[in-house]
Amino acid sequence: MTKERTKAALARVPPQVLSLTSGLAFLVVAVGPAAAQSQVGDVYCDTGVATGIDLVFGAVAGLGLPATSFYTGKAGLSYMRAGGNPEKKNEAKERLVMAGIGFGIVTLALVSPELIDKIGSQMGFGFSDCVKPF
């Protein structure tokens, strides 16, 4: 008889409540060890995650900045060679703007972890040294 009552009680509970409670339970279990840390990322020290962060940021700096300068130079040369053709000038300007946007994205990707760390340290948390890219 108790199994039938349990099934009947579960049938009356909306599915959103079940998914919310299971999601909260997962968060408590998954985030528990990380919440005990004073520095964000202490859990990842001496693991593949710390190595991966270094590799990704090294690739962004090592490949992104030279590629940006290459495309900026290429767009500048095509603008200079456009002469009086307005269609070629507009195309070269568009490429130059895109190269500038790419440079901004690469720069922001390299600077943002430091900015987040500075703001976070003012709020009482920060990144551990093993997950800082530079």
SS3 state of residue 126: strand
95: pLDDT strictly greater than 70: yes
pLDDT tens-digit series, residues 45-80 = 777 877 887 788 888 888 888 998 899 999 999 999
Helices (H), 1-134: 2-12, 15-35, 48-59, 65-81, 86-123
Output the pTM of the full model.
Answer: 0.57
What integer pLDDT is reported at residue 124 of this predicted model?
A: 76
